[in-house]
A and B are shown apart, each in its own frame.
Chain A
Amino acid sequence: QAFYKLHAISLDSTMGKDAARAEWDNPMQFVLACVSYAVGLGNVWRFPYLCQMHGGGGFLIPYLLMLVLLGVPLFYMELAIGQKMRLGSIGAWRAINPYLGGVGLASVVTSMYLCLYYNVINAWSFWYLFHSFQSVLPWAECPVNSNLTGHVEECERATPTQYFFYRETLDISGSIEENGGIHMGQALCLLLAWMIVYLFIVKGVKSTGKVVYFTATFPYLVLIIYLIRGVTLHGAINGVKYMFTPKMEQLANPTTWINAATQIFFSLGLGFGSLIAFASYNQYNNNFEKQAIVVSMVNSSTSIFASIVTFSIYGFKATFNYESCLERVRLLLLNTFDLAEDTISLENVIHWIAELNRTHPEQFASLGGRLETCDLEAELDTAVEGTGLAFIVYSEAIKNMPVSQLWSVLYFIMLLLLGMGSMLGNVIAVITPLSDLKFISRYMSTKTLNGLVCLFCLLLGLGFTTHSGNYWFTMFNDYGATFSLLFIVLIEVITVCYIYGIKRFEKDVEDMLGHRLNCYWKIMLAGVSPILLIALFIFYIVNYIQGGTPTYQAWNKELGKSVVTEYPPYAQAFIGLLLASSVCCIPLTALYTYCKKRNLASGKRERTVSTVSA
């Protein structure tokens, strides 16, 4: 027991733990920081897509079930660890079990990857925001070509919004191999994004705590404004009806449940170390149990709220396209059959098609392929997720709204706030463990450390602003944080429940909160969550192996659309490196600690022998 006491004190001094650790001004700041981190772009662009894919209203059942079984308990556990250990992820996991300090390191590596590529989305949001200050939105029309006879070809084949995203925003190359130079506009926007991140974190939690008041609440204001605007748009009701019509047969599909679980998991931001970092700045007796439940509920309700907004916008866009299609067909019929203008209206186009086919069959046949079929369901079915939804589909809908510049500015400010809020969490997850390390905190102040981390991420992030940068971005997005996180959180749960011991964890929580752990938490943490995580993990591996060569969507400028292309061998090797680099931290650190302990133990034995002999 004496040895244990010495060991504990020496651990603390190497951790550089000091009594004057920074703290949140009040618990509200902590809650808002967690909300700001958890409510991010995924709530806006991934959840509505999943809802549409998996049977609309019916998807809420697996989603809410997974929230209760998986999301809230793991969130609770991370907050508990952070608040108890009062250290960033590396220090906290080393304190729990020295052999599993690698878990913290893996979290930091994964957060670092996330920092690198996530801010590029903010750069794109800035680009779109600045381009909204024009009388005609640049993605509303195709630009004219050089001899003023028509529009640019690539734009004619694709749509103006796609052209603006792929050509003017990204200036994308044809494949991941063609690198090209850096897009200066993108680089400038990325610089601005990193400068703003630095401004928010420069004074540590003192500055972050004030910023989160704004980044957590303002997106809700914009979402409410958009909800009011959205449901009053013509045709919005089609989208909302489509979304909420439950298709219960989707519940039988296992992919639905797996997607619900992964969505809860990634939406709450578990495993990155951000929650541990945030909680480490809490007062020791802060009631994190209530806060964990509140933040998880807020996150899920925001997803549902945002999907109502998204679907009303979808409905508007689909109705607009459907009616434009009907208008084109109407004009075609009027022009071919030379009928007076008011004979065919939008309502009876379909009736007239049948009529004219019957009365003038040869002339009708001459129409041939020019006659389009207009289908509202097909328009609504075009489900898109990710950057395609946010920057292409949404901007297409916005350009058709009246006073489109105002809505565009509001929308991109909302995207920026959501993205910045999440970025804060990501950067703090990297900086907190680094500033806890004694050899760093001795040589430089927090401001310099923050500045260096931001500068480092900016320089590496410039790689995503090259002509092929979007392909690297997609690679990082798909592989950088998905698999490794599952592994990290699985190890975390097993460590806390079985290696550290659920009884010790219970005592720690009781010490902090004053009451015992509820049996709900015990059952979930020790039983249900690990099983679900193992199932998810196995599914991911099976899916990855079955998927064959990893592919990506490359933009083809001749065709004006994306084509599925395989990754070249060096890119596949890089994917492997991404996955391995964070996962390997755990076994490697365990090995390193084991070797160090063996050397320490043998060294001690030598010393004791020498004193005795002396």
Chain B
Amino acid sequence: MPSLTVPPGAPPILQSLTVPPGAPPILQSLAVTLERMLVRILVLLYLAGAPALAQTLCQPNASNGYRVRISIKTALGNQAYEWNENEMFLFRATMAFAMRRYYKTETYNVDNIIVCNQTRRVSFWFVVISPENPTMLIPKADVEKAVSMSRHRINNAFLLTDRTLEFLGIYPTLAEPVNPDTPPWLIVFGVVIGAVFAGIIALLVSSLLQKRRKEKGMMEDGQDEEDRQMKGVENGINLDGIYNRGFTDDDRFTKL
């Protein structure tokens, strides 16, 4: 006659149901049936009670819970999807994934993420319960670290960003600034100043060459000097005199 192995966590009433080995067969089968029923009832009660238990764990402003706010229409506009139970399931699954990733275990499941107080805004509270002990909540700090670690994956699962999928209280870490070895402006500056410098040198050299060519041309025929002197040019100043205002008449020029 098989004897029911009583589960270790079972209440004492079940444990007292072990049938003594010398009992008649009818009594034994009755005990078995009774045990099975009791177990089923207990399981049913447990299952019914668990959400109630969980509900008490998840509350707005719970000490270990976070509030999530989702703005799908702001992020996606015309391509926004509707927030329904399936999306909520995905959220819970993603959070379980984040917890698994953080603790590096495979014990977390969708049931461990409890959600409550959903509003039309699409905002809700969630808490994480430990897979080993359903009455124990994972502390806030650990949840925060888990979320921060997988934030990018969580955002991408919903096609949202840090701004449109908000965990109130968890601040997104900003991207590290990219510091190139040479600042890009210095490169453009170098190119421009090099070009300008080359331009200046080119102009100076070309005018120097022009002057030397002119000087060589002048030295070859020295007659030019005398010609210039005859024209009355000395030191580059025209000595022909200038038109002197003092000798003009005050009258208007007469037209011929």
- What is A's interface to B at a CB cutoff of 8 Å? 1, 4-5, 8-9, 12-13, 16-20, 126-127, 129-131, 133-134, 143-144, 148-151, 185, 188-189, 191-192, 195-196, 198-199, 202-203, 207, 331, 334-335, 338-342, 447, 507
Contacts and interface: CB of A to CB of B under 8 A. Distances in A.
Contact of A202 (B72, B197, B203): B203
A19 B238 contact: yes
B237 A5 contact: no
A127 B185 contact: yes
Given A130-B188, A130-B189, A203 B197 contact: no
A240 to B, nearest CB: 29
A130 B176 CA distance: 23
A127 B238 CA distance: 49
B203 A207 contact: yes
Contacts of B185: 127, 130-131, 133-134, 185
Given A149-B174, A338-B120, 10 more contacts: A1-B247, A5-B246, A8-B246, A19-B238, A130-B185, A130-B189, A195-B200, A202-B204, A334-B121, A338-B121
Interface in B21-74: 69, 71-74
B200 A338 contact: no
A196 B200 CA distance: 9
Interface residues of B, number: 40
A341 B189 contact: no
Interface string B150-189: 0000000000000000000001011111000000111011
A143 B178 CA distance: 11
Contacts of B188: 129-130, 133
Contacts of A340: 120-122
A150 B196 CA distance: 41
Contacts of B245: 8
A144 B200 CA distance: 42
B189 A188 contact: yes
B199 A1 contact: no
B61 to A, nearest CB: 14
Contacts of B121: 334-335, 338-341
B123 interface: yes
A177 to B, nearest CB: 30
Contacts of B175: 144
B141 interface: no
Given A9-B242, A144-B177, A150-B174, A192 B192 contact: yes
A334 B193 CA distance: 54
Contacts of A12: 242
Interface string B224-247: 000000000000111001101111
B207 interface: yes
B119 interface: yes
B227 to A, nearest CB: 16
B184 A148 contact: no
Interface of B: 69, 71-74, 119-123, 171, 173-177, 184-186, 188-189, 192-193, 196-197, 199-200, 203-204, 207, 236-238, 241-242, 244-248
Contact of B246 (A1, A133, A331): A1
B182 to A, nearest CB: 12
Contact of B189 (A192, A207, A331): A192
Given A149-B173, A199-B199, A447 B204 contact: yes
A143 B177 contact: yes
Nearest to B240: A19
A353 B192 CA distance: 55
B160 to A, nearest CB: 13
Contacts of A127: 185
Contacts of B73: 341-342
Contacts of A130: 184-186, 188-189, 192
B120 A195 contact: no
B203 A18 contact: no
Contacts of A18: 236-238
A198 B200 contact: yes
A192 B184 contact: no
Contacts of B120: 338-340
Nearest to A128: B185
8 contacts: A1-B247, A9-B242, A18-B237, A191-B193, A331-B71, A334-B121, A338-B123, A339-B121
Given A13-B237, A341-B122, A447-B204, A195 B72 contact: no
B119 A338 contact: yes
B71 A341 contact: yes
Nearest to B72: A341
A185 B203 CA distance: 27
A338 B173 CA distance: 26
A447 B200 CA distance: 11
Contacts of B200: 195, 198-199, 202
A143 B236 CA distance: 63
Contacts of B236: 18, 20
